[in-house]
Structure formats: structure tokens, C-alpha cells
Amino acid sequence: MGKKRKLVLFISTSLDGYIATKDESLDWLFKVEGEGDNGYSEFYETVDTILFGKRTYDWVMKQGIKELPYKNKECYVFTRSSLDDKEDVKFINEDAVHFTNKLKNQEGRNIWVVGGGELLHSFIKNKLVDEFIIKVAPILLGTGIPLFREGDYPLNLSLKGVRNFNQFVELHYEVKK
Ligand SMILES: NC(=O)c1ccc[n+]([C@@H]2O[C@H](COP(=O)([O-])OP(=O)(O)OC[C@H]3O[C@@H](n4cnc5c(N)ncnc54)[C@H](OP(=O)(O)O)[C@@H]3O)[C@@H](O)[C@H]2O)c1
């Protein structure tokens, strides 16, 4: 059996730790001058499963697309409602931590948690995240939807690498077990 697959957060944030404005705009992020695809395709190859909170999924679907742009990956959306699965996505309303632990114990490539902050919070509180890859955009938003929520969850991290993609700084951390 290979190494246990990891749960990895791959996300962009403002310097002051917001992933969107309060009205869920990411315009500030798309204005930042990056480099190439900012490491996206390299990361994308390392995962075969993708997790979303329902608000993040809704945001993606509001961008004028008919289906998720994640072909050949297993996509799960966590929600406390009961929703019918679609061809390209399954809606999960069982306990997110229990479900994700089961996924982590299956064979496969790594698992990408796209966000947002609320879903991430459940995973952090329960020490499920193995790595954080965070791209910091050169902007202070002052207010917005926070990447990290307040909570009693100290996590010690070890820095695996720092890269920059033009104006973005990518911080790559591994959780110390
Ligand atoms: N900057 C970036 O790279 C980036 C990345 C991802 C997201 N975002 C942005 O972040 C915003 C959304 O973040 P958010 O923190 O507000 O919301 P979120 O975490 O995406 O979604 C919250 C919703 O997910 C469901 N959920 C969360 N935790 C759950 C759990 N433990 N069990 C079951 N269901 C759970 C609930 O859905 P129900 O209400 O249906 O029960 C909850 O209302 C969007 O604007 C998105 O565009 C930005």
C-alpha cells in the first residue's frame, strides 16, 4: 500500500487573510498580475478528489458555466441540505469530518480542499488538513470572508517552500503531527 493521501488546502488570500469580499467578490484577486497559471496545473495533477463548501460551489456555478471545470476528478460539495447529485458533483450532507476521514483512508492521489473558510474550519478544528498552499495577493481588504476563523485549534506548521509568481507569494506549509 502506498503512502496515505493528504488533504491539501490550495487557495488564494489577501495579505490580511480574506478569501473574498463580504459580497463574495473576487475581482481584487483576478486583477493581480501572476505568472503563467501560478502553479495551478502542477498542483492539479497531484489530486484526484476536490472538496467544496456549498457557498464556494455556488460561487463557481454563478460564473456563467454549466458544469464544474474539474473533469475526471471526484467532486464533493458539503451542505446541510439534502440535494440531488449531478453528473459531475455529489452533495454530501453527512458529517463532513467523518466523510473526509473515510476518503483519506482510501487509496488515491491527494485531496484538494478548495474552501471556503467555513468548511476549512471544520477540517482544521479536527486536525484533518495535512498541507496548506496559500497564495498571498498584494492587497489589504480590511474586511471580508476570512480564510481562518477564530477557534481553539493551535496547529504547528513546518515551512516546505516559498515561491513567488510575479505579484503572488506562495507559502507551502506541512502540518506537524
Ligand atoms: N480566494 C480563494 O481562492 C477562494 C477559494 C474558495 C472560496 N472562496 C470564496 O469564499 C466564499 C465562500 O466561503 P465561506 O466560508 O463563506 O463558505 P463555504 O465554506 O464555501 O461554504 C459554507 C457552506 O458549506 C456548507 N458547510 C460548511 N461546513 C460544513 C460542514 N462541516 N458540514 C456540512 N456542510 C458544511 C454549508 O452549506 P449549507 O448552507 O448548504 O448547509 C455552509 O453554509 C465564496 O465567496 C468563494 O468565492 C475564495
CATH number of the domain enclosing 137: 3.40.430.10
How many domains does one find in the chain? 1
Domain that holds residue 68: 7-175
Q: In this prediction, what percent of the chain has a pLDDT beyond 70? A: 99
Q: According to the model, what pLDDT value does residue 68 have?
A: 87
Burial environment of residue 20 by CB neighbours within 10 A (0 to 12, 13 to 18, 19 or more) = buried
| Structure confidence by residue, pLDDT tens digits, 66-119 | 888 998 999 999 999 999 999 999 999 999 999 999 999 999 999 999 999 999
Average pLDDT of the chain, as a whole number? 96
Domain-located, residue 97: yes
Q: How far is the CA of 142 from the centre of ligand 1 (A)?
A: 20
pTM over 0.85: yes
Domain-located, residue 2: no
- Give the integer Cα–Cα distance in Å for 87 and 85: 7
- By most ligand atoms within 8 Å of CB, the mutation choice from 55, 82, 129 for ligand 1 is 55
Domain-located, residue 1: no
